[in-house]
Structure 1
Amino acid sequence: MLTKPKPEDALTAAGPFSDDECEAVYRAIHSRRDVRDQFLPDPLPDDLVQRLLEAAHAAPSVGFMQPWSFILICDEATRAAAHLAFSRANEEAAELFSGERAQIYRDLKLEGIRKAPLSICITCDPDRAGPVVLGRTHNPRMDVYSTVCAVQNLWLAARAEGVGVGWVSIFHDADIKALLGIPERVEIVAWLCLGYVDQLYSEPELAVKGWRERLPLAELVHEGRWPQDKP
């Protein structure tokens, strides 16, 4: 019979990374971009995709529930159908803006579904760890928040590998669930487009194209409590 190791035996040394390692981590964070149009057509090798999935699967999750699943989509017909679902929803979204804002919106390219060689639909199964989950007892959305951590892990690993990622969110969930056979109880968290890139914007594309500027960090940091002059 195998003896389960004691918790104290599972501990390992911890400490800061080397300067070069820290620089690489921060470079990935600060140079990560949402890619829509810079994808190259070259397919991603299987071993590279596996590394990205392993990075995603190493994400933290509340109660160690690991609610994520990953649907890999290379088939052109499926991606074409997803693009059609996006296009219908995007037209609806465009109607919500008016004037100059509406024209800027229509000029933006907001997806790379057909251009990127791979899409990954990342889902969240709220039943993965049962009805009562440690840490989710008072916040039922912790499963989704955990899944978003997996998205971020994959994105940063992709940046380190020279792979661009674009997050598509403009679609009706029912359309994508029907397309991919996703059960009703399972939530779609992200449709990601992935492909090699050789160029990235130096700043977020929406800032470069005048949609919205990055907020100053100093305005978002508060000491001790919410500022009373900001209801």
Structure 2
Amino acid sequence: MRRFRTDPIDPDKLKHLLELADLAPSVGNSQPWRIVTVQSAEKRASVVASFEAENAYAASAYEDEKAALYRQLKLAGLKEAPVHLAVFSEPNPGQGHGLGRATMPETLAYSTVSMIHTFWLAARTEGVGVGWVSILDPEKIGEILKVDPNWHFVAYLCVGYPEEEHIAPELERARWQSRSPLDERLFRR
């Protein structure tokens, strides 16, 4: 989701969606997610500048037709989305007492992604769209938002009402790449 209307989201609705997301499962019931609501126009502008710099760098990796197509893609809704959420994972949360992550500490980040997915599904049931901006420098985002330097940046989410509804992903509609059949990724042993 990259095309948002600028209509505000009712604060109570956003709070409800975040409360639903907070019910997501987490390793050892650790709830490692840390959510920063980015409201400051100055901080948002800094995030947009970071995105634009990283996007220009990413574009340089492509040549010819792919480069031209890449430059036409809308890869973020940072300027239109009324809500911005930066999501981090706490690497050593007090909750959970280390349960379930001694051999796989990455399950904290996976748990944070589970919360994001729960938020995304809850938002869609309310007609709210979510876009995950991945063309950002994690260290720069942490600096802009002045978060605990130990937190691991997981996602920057644009949240708002969609301009239009589609079943096919935007990158498929833009002919960047079609979805492939599940059988190509499903293995049996």
Q: Given the two structures, how large is their TM-score scaled by the length of structure 1? A: 0.78
Structure 1 letter corresponding to 2:9: L
Which protein has greater RCO, CA pairs closer than 8 Å, 6+ apart?
2
User: Displacement of 1:51 after TM fit?
Assistant: 1.1
SS in 1 for 2:50: helix
Mapped contact 1:162–1:198 kept (Cα < 8 A)? no
Instruction: Note closer, same or farther for the CA distance 1:131–1:96 as it changes in structure 2 (3 Å cut).
Output: farther
Q: How far does the alpha carbon of each residue in 1:13-63 deviate from its partner, in whole angstroms, 9 at most, with x for none?
A: xxxxxxxxxxxxxxxxxxxxxx112x1111111110011101211111011
Mapped contact 2:29–2:96 kept (Cα < 8 A)? no
User: Displacement of 1:219 after TM fit?
Assistant: 2.1
**Structure 2 residue ranges without an equivalent (≥5):** none
**Structure 1 residue ranges without an equivalent (≥5):** 1-34, 225-231
Distance in 1 (CA, whole Å) between partners of 2:139 and 2:183 is 40
Q: Given the two structures, how large is their TM-score scaled by the length of structure 2? A: 0.95
Pairing of 1:176-191 with structure 2 (within 5 A): 176-191=141-156
User: Displacement of 1:131 after TM fit?
Assistant: 9.8
Mapped contact 2:27–2:96 kept (Cα < 8 A)? no
User: Displacement of 1:132 after TM fit?
Assistant: 6.1
Structure 1 position 84 matched with structure 2 position 84: no
Match of 1:210 in 2: 175
Distance in 1 (CA, whole Å) between partners of 2:67 and 2:96 is 44
Mapped contact 2:31–2:95 kept (Cα < 8 A)? no
Structure 1 consecutive aligned stretches of length 4 or more whose deviation exceeds 2 Å: 74-77, 129-132
Distance in 1 (CA, whole Å) between partners of 2:38 and 2:184 is 40
Mapped contact 1:76–1:114 kept (Cα < 8 A)? no
**Among candidates 107, 127, 139, match of residue 142 of structure 1:** 107
Match of 1:108 in 2: 73
How many pairs were matched up? Answer: 189
User: Displacement of 1:129 after TM fit?
Assistant: 3.3
